Structure 1
Amino acid sequence: MRNIKLSIKYDGSRYKGWQKLGKTDMTIQTKIENVLSKMTGENIELIGSGRTDAGVHAICQVANFKTSTTMSLQSMLDYMYKYLPEDIVVFDIEEVNERFHSRYNAKSKKYVYKIWNDKYHNPFFRKYYEHIDKQLDIQLMRQGASFLIGEHDFSSFKSSKSQKKSSIRTIYSIDIQKEDCLIYITIHGNGFLHNMVRIIVGTLIEVGLSIKKPEDVKYILEKKDRSLAGPTASAKGLYLLDVEY
């Protein structure tokens, strides 16, 4: 039995998220599994590095599947490129050790959140950037973000739907850059709770708008109370950037 690792880009705009759901075939996992099953003649189960919610995109999602097919890697890659929808592209393929598991072996992940910061939205970016019409203070946001670096209990920054037993996570870095109207918030951590990145971003946006002070982030973190943090930023601005093994 071969173990095949895939690196995948996708535009999540029209999908219900990564994970397959019983009531719809409009998930990334389902679309890829259907193509792989037809390609191999087997009932393929695809294992992703983690779930992305409805509307969230990926610059590099990682997944793996087991198969008995004798097809070459290049033939598999070409087949997937031909039959997958245009908004899903498998751009790299590798045969890995049979014990490799996309989710359990992941050591860290990077996400990037993209904001269009101008009075008027850009119609070409409306599906892929969060629009904030008031000017954000990047320096204040960086000060607020600094309190989140390190190992903490991130209970204040998870949704009520989070099923993880522990809320302890480690954030290695939060990098905030601005280029004209574009703001990029890149977060690198060992793992993330449900909606954690989007709640962090929503909170930092409030800091950037002076609704909250940078030091409020420290208080919110310590209180472990979701109601104190900012709103959950929209899914369309979030991208899974990389998974490290």
Structure 2
Amino acid sequence: MTRKVVLLVEYNGSAYKGWQAQKYDVPTVQENLEKALSVIANHKVSVICAGRTDSGVHASSQVVHFETDEERSERSWTLGTNTHLPSDIAVVAARYVDDDFHARFSALSRRYRYVIYPTALRPAILSSGLTWTYKSLDVGAMAQAAECFLGTHDFTSFRAIGCQANTPTRTILNFSVQQLGQYVVLDVRANAFLHHMIRNFAGVLMTIGAGEKPISWAKQVLDAKDRTQGGITAPPTGLYFVDAEYPDHFNVPSRPLGPHFLPYVEEPEYALSR
């Protein structure tokens, strides 16, 4: 009998050309995960994720599903699969779910965090897992500027030129900018995202935080609906896929928000719409 399994997967994306397997011989997270799962399942496994990540982008809780007709324990899908994965990819949870579950199409929202390390001298440890800037950042100004992104907007100014989405309209459900220990963290939850959207948010907000543009510039960029007015695209190194939200009846496993070197903060109850 064919059953559906959902996984939570953590990975450091530094060594990979993104999540999605490609026809060219380049390393991807999906390719490595499918190979490892295929060994445990004794058949070729194809996986679908909640949100594809770009080259150099990480995940602390990517949601993935696949189908199998082999009976394995949930423990086997985690520990067994991990023995066949490189050290920078790990399955951290597994559960059998209903046949109508879909990692992408069942998701109510997706959530990313962008981690910035503002300090005078560059770090050596975790250098591939955060975005360093030598500039001091005004976190309050960044948070105030980010408020204009809440709600449903045309985010053309924040999508990559090559973005293939059918529409630039997205709904931002929550957007916070806060100091967590020595890090400045952008925390964004939306129904869906455009290509490079978070990194373009980060580029604008870091410019404002550094005092190079006024707070009002964020709204000006949004209203322009022109990517050329949006400033730099921030590096991928600080970006993490941290959560996808599903209806409760699917009973998808969850874990504390990552990345896990950040100080823990109590999570508010989020509404699904603004």
Task: Tell me the TM-score normalized by structure 1.
Answer: 0.97
> In the aligned structure 2, how far is the partner of 1:57 from the partner of 1:180?
20
Pairing 1:199-214 to 2, within 5 Å after superposition: 199-214=200-215
Residue 38 of structure 1 aligns to a residue whose secondary structure is helix
Look up the match of 2:267: none
Give the superposition deviation at 1:211. Answer: 1.9
Look up the match of 1:91: 92
For 1:96, give the aligned amino acid.
Answer: V
Q: Does 1:67 align with 2:68?
A: yes
Percent identity between the aligned chains?
Answer: 35
Task: State the 4+ residue runs in structure 1 displaced beyond 2 angstroms.
Answer: none
> In the aligned structure 1, how far is the partner of 2:90 from the partner of 2:10?
5
Look up the match of 2:241: 240
> In the aligned structure 2, how far is the partner of 1:157 from the partner of 1:114?
18
C-alpha RMSD of the superposition: 1.1
For 2:103, give the aligned amino acid.
Answer: S
Look up the match of 2:83: 82
Retained in 2: the 8 A contact 1:25–1:31? Answer: no
For 1:146, give the aligned amino acid.
Answer: E
Retained in 2: the 8 A contact 1:200–1:230? Answer: no
Give the superposition deviation at 1:140. Answer: 1.2
Give the superposition deviation at 1:13. Answer: 0.9
Give the superposition deviation at 1:63. Answer: 0.5
Give the superposition deviation at 1:190. Answer: 1.1
Look up the match of 1:130: 131
For 2:101, give the aligned amino acid.
Answer: F
Look up the match of 1:41: 42
Residue 13 of structure 1 aligns to a residue whose secondary structure is helix
Pairing 1:80-229 to 2, within 5 Å after superposition: 80-179=81-180, 181-229=182-230
> In the aligned structure 1, how far is the partner of 2:230 from the partner of 2:211?
14
Deviations 1:26-61 (A, max 9, x none): 111000101111222212111011210011000100
Retained in 2: the 8 A contact 1:116–1:182? Answer: yes
* Structure 2 unaligned residues grouped into runs of 5+: 247-274
Look up the match of 1:57: 58
Give the superposition deviation at 1:24. Answer: 2.3
Residue 156 of structure 1 aligns to a residue whose secondary structure is helix
Retained in 2: the 8 A contact 1:154–1:169? Answer: yes
> In the aligned structure 1, how far is the partner of 2:46 from the partner of 2:26?
14
> In the aligned structure 1, how far is the partner of 2:151 from the partner of 2:228?
22
Look up the match of 1:6: 7
Give the superposition deviation at 1:180. Answer: 5.0
> In the aligned structure 2, how far is the partner of 1:240 from the partner of 1:204?
19
Look up the match of 2:16: 15
For 2:155, give the aligned amino acid.
Answer: F
Deviations 1:137-175 (A, max 9, x none): 111111110111111110110001111111111111211
Residue 83 of structure 2 aligns to a residue whose secondary structure is helix
Give the superposition deviation at 1:67. Answer: 0.6
Deviations 1:185-229 (A, max 9, x none): 111111100000000011101111122211111111111000111
Residue 175 of structure 1 aligns to a residue whose secondary structure is strand
Retained in 2: the 8 A contact 1:57–1:239? Answer: yes
In structure 2, relative to structure 1, the CA distance for the partners of 1:44 and 1:25 (3 Å cut) is farther
Give the superposition deviation at 1:25. Answer: 4.8
* Structure 1 unaligned residues grouped into runs of 5+: none
> In the aligned structure 1, how far is the partner of 2:144 from the partner of 2:92?
37
For 1:169, give the aligned amino acid.
Answer: R
Residue 221 of structure 1 aligns to a residue whose secondary structure is helix
In structure 2, relative to structure 1, the CA distance for the partners of 1:75 and 1:125 (3 Å cut) is closer
Look up the match of 2:30: 29
Task: Tell me the TM-score normalized by structure 2.
Answer: 0.87
Retained in 2: the 8 A contact 1:50–1:103? Answer: yes
In structure 2, relative to structure 1, the CA distance for the partners of 1:49 and 1:3 (3 Å cut) is same
